Amino acid sequence: MDKVSSGILEMLRSSAGYISGQWISTEFEITRAAIWKHIRELRKTGYIIDAVPNKGYHLVSSPDMPFEEEIHCLLSTRTIGETIIFHREIDSTNSVAMLLASDGAPHGTVVTSDSQTGGRGRRGREWFSPPGCNLYMSVILRPSVSPAEASQIPVISVLAVVRVLEQLNSGLPFKIKWPNDILCRGKKVCGILCEMKSDTDHIHHLVVGIGINVNVTSMDSCISDIATSLKLETGQEYSRIKLSASLLEELEEIYLEWLQERNLKRYIAEWERYSLLIGRNVRIETPSETIAGVATGLSNNGSLILKLPSGAIRKVYAGDAHIANHNS
- The secondary structure of the chain in percent helix, strand, coil, rounded to multiples of 5, reads 35, 30, 40
Say if residue 118 is in the same domain as residue 216. Answer: yes
For the chain, the average pLDDT equals: 94
Question: Bridge-partner residues for 90, per DSSP?
Answer: 116
Say if residue 184 is in the same domain as residue 230. Answer: yes
Each residue's pLDDT tens digit, 289-323: 999 999 999 999 999 999 999 999 999 999 999 99
Each residue's pLDDT tens digit, 238-285: 999 999 999 999 999 999 999 999 999 999 999 999 999 999 999 999
Query: What is the CB neighbour count within 10 angstroms for residue 23?
Result: 14
Say if residue 207 is in the same domain as residue 287. Answer: no
Say if residue 104 is in the same domain as residue 217. Answer: yes
Query: Does residue 186 form part of some domain?
Result: yes
What's the rounded Cα separation, in Å, for the pair 220 and 127?
11
Give me the number of domains the chain comprises.
3
What DSSP element (H or E) covers 116? strand 110-116
Query: What is the CB neighbour count within 10 angstroms for residue 85?
Result: 17
Query: Does residue 17 form part of some domain?
Result: yes
Say if residue 192 is in the same domain as residue 281. Answer: no
What's the rounded Cα separation, in Å, for the pair 185 and 163?
17
pLDDT > 60? residue 288: yes
Query: Does residue 137 form part of some domain?
Result: yes
Say if residue 215 is in the same domain as residue 317. Answer: no
Q: Are 134 and 229 in contact (CB under 8 A)?
A: yes
Strands (E), 133-285: 135-141, 174-177, 181-184, 187-198, 203-212, 281-285
* Residue 290's CATH number: 2.30.30.100
What's the rounded Cα separation, in Å, for the pair 242 and 303?
32
The residue range of the domain holding 294 is 277-323
